Copies of this chain bind each other. A is one copy, B any other.
Amino acid sequence: MHNAFLQRLSHAAPLAQNEIGVLEELCRNPRDIPAKKYLSRDGDEIVTFPVILSGWAARYQILRNGARQITRLLLPGDAFYFDSSPDAVAIEEVITLSPCQIVNIPHADMTRAIERHPAIGEAMRNYGCMENAILSSWVVNVGRRDALERMAHLICEAHYRLSLIDGTQGEQFFFPLTQDDLADVLGLTPVHINRKLQQLRHERLITLRSKQMTILNLRELQQVAGFDGAYLAPRNGDKDASGGFGAIAA
């Protein structure tokens, strides 16, 4: 299966073959978007129900002092405005972090699919739950972990989420965030990010060069992060896509 959105949803709830067909149909005609492109809700880039099929993007808010906080990393298969009534999220903008393929699914089509296929509705609801769980975990991360732990946790999260959609090659994966981006995800400054990244490298936990992240010691990195993938685990019943992510106490 090459469609990350499909993979996501089928991890969220079991989907029958014809339901998969319906979703594939909805995902025809993706558009290519370059990196570092702002996607405003009002612009023509985002209408209806936008989904990333490949690439990374981020939702963020800007404060009046100019500070930016990224509130969500959008990985392949993620929906931009899952939670949308059009006006409600006007505060949050989206920017691509790498070249992306994006489909805009008309809301009407999505609604029709959900009506005809309750399993799709269930999958969507469960997907929403996962978004929620990630948001909670970010609050915990930024609220109660120090800089090193935060970085480690984010890396574990990214790795796990990507692994569920075949976005990893073993412990290696595409990681397009600049240090400035990382700072805005983790609520730190770029300078501090730089230093903590170096610490992770010196402790032989990771490698990061040309947007290529390699986790050298996953167990230890998870240990540092206090990472437990349970909150991200597929809710499908059948799967074991997690590949041995474990029960490190949060």
Contacts and interface: CB of A to CB of B under 8 A. Distances in A.
B143 A186 contact: yes
A88 B12 CA distance: 11
A63 B230 contact: no
Given A83-B128, A129-B83, A133-B83, A139 B140 contact: no
A62 B133 contact: no
Q: How large is the interface on A (under 10, 10 to 19, 20 to 34, 35 or more residues)?
A: 35 or more
B83 A132 contact: yes
Interface stretch (A18-26, A48-56, A66-74, A210-218): A66-74
Nearest to A64: B249
A249 to B, nearest CB: 5
Contacts of A130: 88
Contacts of A38: none
Interface stretch (A89-97, A171-179, A198-206): A89-97
Which of A69, A90, A186, A235: most chain B CB closer than 10 A? A69
A187 B226 CA distance: 17
Contact of A71 (B63, B128, B136, B230): B136
A92 B187 contact: no
Number of copies: 2
Determine the main DSSP class of A at the interface with B: mixed
B126 A128 contact: no
A186 B143 CA distance: 7
A45 interface: no
A166 interface: no
B67 A129 contact: no
Interface in A162-183: none
Contact of A63 (B62, B145, B235): B145
Contacts of A143: 69, 142, 186-187
Which 10 pairs across A and B sit closest by C-beta, in order of nearness? A143-B187, A83-B129, A135-B135, A71-B136, A69-B140, A69-B144, A83-B132, A69-B143, A67-B144, A142-B142
21 contacts: A61-B137, A61-B140, A62-B250, A63-B250, A64-B250, A69-B144, A71-B139, A71-B140, A72-B136, A82-B132, A83-B128, A83-B129, A83-B133, A84-B129, A89-B231, A90-B230, A91-B228, A91-B230, A131-B132, A135-B139, A139-B142
